[in-house]
Homo-oligomer: A and B are copies of this chain.
Amino acid sequence: MIPVEAGTIAVIFSSVRRAQGEDDGYDEMAARMDDLARSQPGFVGVESARDAETAFGVTVSYWRDEASAQAWKAVAEHRVAQERGRTQWYREYSVVVAEVTRAYGRQA
């Protein structure tokens, strides 16, 4: 489980992928963005799931504070990926930014 606490910033990215080509660069980009996010200051964690049938997916990234979440959005290589997402990969998407008030759960 991601070590989330009150005040952590959650960025909830939801998207529906377009019908996809064999090699549209998406998987490579997604892996690269995952690596790049993890290397950013203030990164806390990221988790992601996509339903193969519906093409709907949710990625939640967690950040130490609002400034680090904003900084990640502005990273040049990430901006390029965002633009390709809008024009090429996603039929629709939404981004919700929220501040954590509490968290609980159970680890395996």
Contacts and interface: CB of A to CB of B under 8 A. Distances in A.
A66 to B, nearest CB: 8
Interface stretch (A24-32, A33-41, A56-64): A56-64
A74 interface: no
Interface of A: 1-2, 4, 10, 12, 14, 16, 47-52, 54, 56-58, 60, 66, 86, 90-108
Contact of A49 (B50, B93, B99): B50
Contact of A12 (B12, B50, B97): B12
Contacts of A57: 49
A91 B108 contact: yes
A91 B105 CA distance: 11
